[in-house]
Structure 1
Amino acid sequence: MNAQNVRKSLLEWYDRNARRLPWRAPPGDPPPDPYRVWLSEIMLQQTTVAAVKPRFADFLARWPDVEALAAAEDADVMAAWAGLGYYARARNLVACARVVASEHGGKFPSTERELRNLPGIGDYTAAAIAAIAFGEATAPVDANVERVVARLDAIAEPLPAARKAIREVAADIYPDDRAGDFAQAMMDLGSTICTTRNPACAICPLRPECAAAATGDPATYPVRPAKKAKPHKYGTAWWIEHDGAVLLVRRPDKGMLGGMRALPSGDWTRKRQAEKAPADAEFMPLGTVAHSFTHFDFSLDVQGARLLTRAALDGEWWPIDDLDAAGLPTLFAKAVTLARAQFEAQGDIQ
């Protein structure tokens, strides 16, 4: 592999084919606003571009700069984040904005080293922001770049052990100039051509330099270990309704779905177990919703009751007709959909 040929071919391809995204500057233009780069990079972690684009626009409309986000209520940001998953990102988003506003005068640090010191910014994100927003000659390696580099050099060592070699090869490939364009070109190539399955090698600008393409089976790279089966966990949630409102609680700040509004729920365990309901009422089983988290699959049994009088319970009574505004995480949004459908089908539950 000739690194100089890789740089030249990829940048020429990017100049013609760069994706137009709201957080990017066109090829060759001055770098975009660091706030937009940072926000997009946090949102794009484990989330598709298609899912992020409308949410990115919503965030910018509500919090147009880092100072505005720093002044936001945690609950408002968590609600706005609902549905994007990986909710620690939202908590770190606010924490990072406040550090930038209070300790850096509202300006993001311009180097990879300094950016790593901010909440929620790891090695890849720091390198990406430094390259894209500030033009620093860094080598950001996300999953797409990892795949491109592993194939260029046909790195046969399985992941995750191969990541050291991948980073070393990437450091040799990345140029000293047009760092941001090159980083985004690598990401675009991995997203659109050098895909996980069925890579489009026939139209890839790097095919002449790609050792994996020469093997005739590039999709085998990077080499991945056999997947382990996910564990399964179980829990119970309660739909408690009174006079057109349902009881919602705020989950603890630490732990799964921390800080999010949700239906009251019990412990999450490896086996189903009986749970004491948070209200003195006769609850009816409404069904079970399934959800897959990164490290485990989950089944949530939903029980419901309609109270004749409003009990003194911890939480907030939220209008049922306005539940879309509560910012419930996907798991509990599924539970709400199930509960409402069952109540309508079965009539009153006392």
Structure 2
Amino acid sequence: MAGTSRNLPDRRRLRAISRRLLAWFKRSARKMDWRETDDPYRIWVSEIMLQQTRVDAVTPYYRRFVSTFPTVRALAEAPLDQVMKLWEGLGYYSRARNLHRAANVVVREHGCRLPREPHRLATLPGIGRSTAGAVAAIAFRKDSPILDANAKRVLARLFAVQESLTRPSVERTLWEISRGLILPGKGRETALALMDLGATVCTPRRPACPACPLRAHCDGLREGRQETIPARRPKKVLPHHDMVAAWIADGKGRVLVGRRPDRGLLGGLWELPGGRRRPKEARGEALRREVREGWGFGIEVGDRIASIPHGFSHFRITLHAYRCRRTGGRPQTDREWRWVHSEGLSDLALPRAYRRLVETVFPKEGKEKPPPRLR
């Protein structure tokens, strides 16, 4: 099947691969908190957290999350701010918003019980086809296929798929292979085994082929293509943006913050007034413009507090924060906003760069650094 998505491997070969994969998994399965439970809610939470995120990063967040929200009803009834705060630092915040929305759907429309079938799970906010298959297989022991990043890479190498894995015809073929690998009653074990093999052996770079239980069946290894499958897109230079932020105090120990729109990057998180500097625009000028346009009042820009670099998946920023003073008027903006004491800032969900800024202004001893004089 090398280089084409037209022909599926025969059933005998798929069964042989399945038996070897399951035998390896029985010996080598990773231990994780969410694998020690049969609770569909907790398995669902773990699968959402694991989307594009490593197990070691997820584990402490998962423990805090299910301790705070032990049931789907507890999650549905929680304020979104509390959910976002527990998610702070894990990234891809739309996952948290969708998890909260989906919990409300489950409570309202499904009597607090997750749907058992993949096609019904996939109707919930934030659940795509592969996550639906994983939850159905792991929580309900359905013989449903998965095709997450790990499974996709394992299957592409096994069958030497040299085309782009984003092509619809290739993806359809990989789904059929994934389904064909499932021996009757072994959906859970097959899903977990594919995940583990991709995460620990058939890794994106430098796969450990000598340790792979499927090496005798791997077309990619036999053709010496295991390092070049899946085909990688040329690396792009990540764009960089200068961001400016205004630390505006009210004389009562409070600072002005606003909530980002729910949709889009960092949706629902809190931040200081500010925005992106335009090309050739001075930072102070950019900050005055952003506050005037976005908040409806003028400011006097003081000294810089900090410049904090931060990377996202598709671009990088440097956040330049300045102490500022309002020169008149109250906030006039469509976004939710509030004045918050220093201890209140620790309760809000902030983007990571802003959290680092708060920690710069309020060191661990809890005292605010003295403000520099305004220029």
Shared fold per TM-score greater than 0.5: yes
Alpha-carbon shift at residue 181 of structure 1 (Å)? 1.2
The letter of the residue matching 2:353 is L
Select 1:7's aligned residue among 15, 18, 21: 18
Alignment of 1:197-216 (within 5 A): 197-216=205-224
Q: Which residue of 2 aligns with 1:41?
A: 47
Paired with 1:295 and 1:167, the residues of 2 have a C-alpha distance of 28
Paired with 1:289 and 1:176, the residues of 2 have a C-alpha distance of 53
Paired with 1:229 and 1:323, the residues of 2 have a C-alpha distance of 34
The letter of the residue matching 2:24 is W
Select 2:268's aligned residue among 250, 259, 262: 259
Q: Which residue of 2 aligns with 1:18?
A: 29
Question: Tell me, what secondary structure is at the counterpart of 1:253?
Answer: coil
- What root-mean-square deviation, in Å, do the aligned CA atoms of Structure 1 and Structure 2 show? 2.6
- Within the alignment, does 1:275 sit opposite 2:287 as a pair? yes
- Within the alignment, does 1:246 sit opposite 2:258 as a pair? no
Select 2:78's aligned residue among 68, 72, 75: 72
Paired with 1:239 and 1:206, the residues of 2 have a C-alpha distance of 57
Percentage of identical aligned residues = 40
Q: Which residue of 2 aligns with 1:192?
A: 200
TM-score (norm 1): 0.89
Paired with 2:55 and 2:243, the residues of 1 have a C-alpha distance of 32
Question: Tell me, what secondary structure is at the counterpart of 1:19?
Answer: coil
- Within the alignment, does 1:318 sit opposite 2:371 as a pair? no
- Within the alignment, does 1:348 sit opposite 2:360 as a pair? no
The letter of the residue matching 2:262 is D
TM-score (norm 2): 0.83
Paired with 2:68 and 2:96, the residues of 1 have a C-alpha distance of 15
Contact 2:301 2:322 in 1 (8 A): no
Alpha-carbon shift at residue 339 of structure 1 (Å)? 4.7
Q: Which residue of 2 aligns with 1:290?
A: 309
Alpha-carbon shift at residue 295 of structure 1 (Å)? 3.0
Alpha-carbon shift at residue 321 of structure 1 (Å)? 5.0
Paired with 2:301 and 2:194, the residues of 1 have a C-alpha distance of 58
1:83-120 per-residue CA deviation (whole Å, 9 max, x = no partner) reads: 11111111101100000000000000100111111111
Contact 2:159 2:219 in 1 (8 A): yes
Alpha-carbon shift at residue 182 of structure 1 (Å)? 1.0
Distance of aligned partners of 1:272 and 1:10 in 2 relative to their CA distance in 1, 3 Å threshold: farther
Structure 1: unaligned runs, 5 residues or longer? 26-30
1:17-54 per-residue CA deviation (whole Å, 9 max, x = no partner) reads: 111111114xxxxx721101110011111211111111
The letter of the residue matching 2:258 is V
Contact 1:250 1:259 in 2 (8 A): yes
1:39-76 per-residue CA deviation (whole Å, 9 max, x = no partner) reads: 00111112111111111111111110101101011111
Matched residue pairs, number? 342
Alignment of 1:80-229 (within 5 A): 80-161=86-167, 162-229=170-237
